[in-house]
Amino acid sequence: MSWNTYYAIYLDVDNPTTPLLDGTASAPRSQALRWVQADEFPLRIYFRRRAQIQTPSSSQQLPAGRALVLGGRQTVGNSVTGDLLIFADNFTEHQDGNEWYYETDLTLDTTELRDLFEADSKAITLQVDLELQDAGKPLTFVIPVTIIPQAYAGEGSPTPALGSVNVSRIIDGVLHLYNAEADRYYPLICTGPLGYATLSLGDPLDEA
């Protein structure tokens, strides 16, 4: 069975300043969200009303005419600072059985984020505000997000390490390897018939 790629956030409608829920459960989420810089994905927002701790929360549909806008800035200490780093709007409403959710496409490949990671490759903490707008009367859900740097940037396979032995040069028609610890050149010797040959290192030269 195939699966859809998206990131889901579950929010407590009655607690906008610390709204994160642990999935459909009624328990709050204890950790900030963690995203990876340069990722792009559909983002789904689920609004929920909590019940008892052991009881699943219930899905909530937004009233008609409400719009959602998401924006995030870096936090340093207790301050929100700098340029807007991420932004998304154009949320669309969807129903899946008894569940309602609101979806948009989110990109973390922004010039502003790229500039921050080029200056310092450490993880960045953001305050992401999700505004529920109603004729100019916003209600803001505050979502803490940590964005970590992208480790893989499209490279091919890494070059196998040779340790302290490196191909150096040809001496008297023979390929020699240089050992930095010994500070000597070692001839590479091939012995045996074709298809069954073995490689070994000969005696080092007297002088490096």
Q: Which carries the bigger pLDDT value, residue 206 or residue 146? A: 146
Residue 180: which pLDDT band, with cuts at 50, 70 and 90? Answer: confident
Question: Over 50: is that where the pLDDT of 32 sits?
Answer: yes
Whole-angstrom distance, CA of residue 169 vs CA of residue 187: 10
Residues 113 and 13 in one domain: yes
Residues 183 and 123 in one domain: no
Question: Over 50: is that where the pLDDT of 162 sits?
Answer: no
What pLDDT, on a 0 to 100 scale, did the predictor assign at position 208?
52
Q: For the segment 97-139, what is each residue's pLDDT rounded down to a tens digit?
A: 999 999 999 999 999 999 999 998 899 999 999 999 988 789 9
pTM across the whole model: 0.73
Under 8 Å between Cβ of 48 and 10:
yes
Q: Give the distance from CA 108 to its chain's centroid.
A: 9
Whole-angstrom Cα Rg for the chain:
29
AA letter at 139:
L
* Mean pLDDT confidence for 7-25: 94
Residues 76 and 119 in one domain: yes
159, part of any domain: no
What pLDDT, on a 0 to 100 scale, did the predictor assign at position 126?
96
Residues 52 and 138 in one domain: yes
Residues 27 and 62 in one domain: yes
Token output for 102: 């609101």
